Amino acid sequence: MKNNIQTSLEYLQKRLNDYPKLAVILGSGLGYFADRLKEPYLIKTADIPSYPRATVEGHEGAWLIGKVGKHKILVLKGRVHFYEGYTMEEVTFPVRLLAEFGVTHLIVTNAAGSLNPQIRPGDLMLIDDHINFFFKNPLISREPISPEKRFVDLSAPYDPSLIELAEAAAHKLGLRLKKGVLVGSTGPSYESAAEVRMMQILGGDAGSMSTVPEVLVANQMGMRVLGLSCITNMTTGLSENKLDHSEVTEIAAMVGEKFESLMEEIILRIFRTSNLD
């Protein structure tokens, strides 16, 4: 994997002059935030050597460097998932590449189904913790590694100061922002009603088929992480409707303006409080 990352990094370094410290991974139906970037420069991930290819609708597969205000950021438009047949190493390859690229702050976003009746479709939820129901860990490796990198502390996988900053941003904009625990599972099938009840008992507030592996690796690599879920549906047993991926992307698009405004305010506040330029 080290050789693959180096190959990808060398390709990017030949084409880029800027190395932003803040990156955003956009989830299903949330790619439109990238359209707000000023002076965008796009690289298709299909052109990056060794980079895994996204195959899911709503995940374009592109790196964009552009400005929010006067600050340059890096946006990953789309991700790859474990359910696409990729290994955990491949799913988290982009995050390891971001770390080698020099990214220190990572905002992960996703579309998620609500496990909590108080969190409804169209809500935005800050992730303050997670439960790993992938039953696989991307940190497992045969490669020699120092103890502090192998045994990663997860007492605060989502940076508390960034959560506080995001809450202040939402308050300024007059947006209602929920907060909860994300349950990450493999998919691609949606949760059964019995599985939903189990996740509720264990303390889950929303479910996603992504994000958790990325956050584990980001913490291993020393990044400060902020997580934001766009709630697109109620999970099985909490809704009479059958679940469909088109509904996920439709609801995500409906909350576009709210999501974009919040993301922009969060990013501006991160640059004001951190030395990232």
How far is residue 215's CA from residue 131's CA, in Å, rounded to a whole number?
11
For 144, other C-beta atoms within 10 Å of its C-beta total: 6
Q: Which of 11, 83, 253, 261 is catalytic?
A: 83
209 is catalytic: yes
Q: How many angstroms separate the CA atoms of 157 and 181, rounded?
A: 11
Q: How far apart are CA 131 and CA 133, in angstroms?
A: 6
Residue 105 annotated among the catalytic residues of the structure: no
Question: 34, 62, 88, 111: which is the annotated catalytic residue?
Answer: 111
Q: Of the listed 81, 130, 199, 265, which one is catalytic?
A: 81
Active site residue 34: no
Please state whether beta strands 105-114 and 206-208 pair in parallel, antiparallel, or not at all (unpaired). antiparallel
59, 71, 105, 130: the catalytic one is 59
Instruction: Respond yes or no: is residue 81 known to be catalytic.
Output: yes
Is residue 218 within 8 A of residue 76, CB to CB? The reply is no
Among the options 51, 54, 84, 247, which is catalytic? 84
Which candidate in 208, 233, 247, 252 is catalytic? 233
From 34, 88, 125, 209, the catalytic residue = 209
| 17 among known catalytic residues | no
156 vs 225: CA distance, rounded Å: 9
From 60, 86, 198, 245, the catalytic residue: 245
252 catalytic? Reply is no
Backbone angles phi, psi at 148, to 5 degrees: -70, -25
The verdict on whether 190 is a catalytic residue reads no
Q: Which of 8, 23, 28, 125 is catalytic?
A: 28
**Out of 110, 114, 116, 210, which one is annotated catalytic?**
210
Active-site positions read 28, 59, 81, 83-84, 111, 209-210, 233, 245
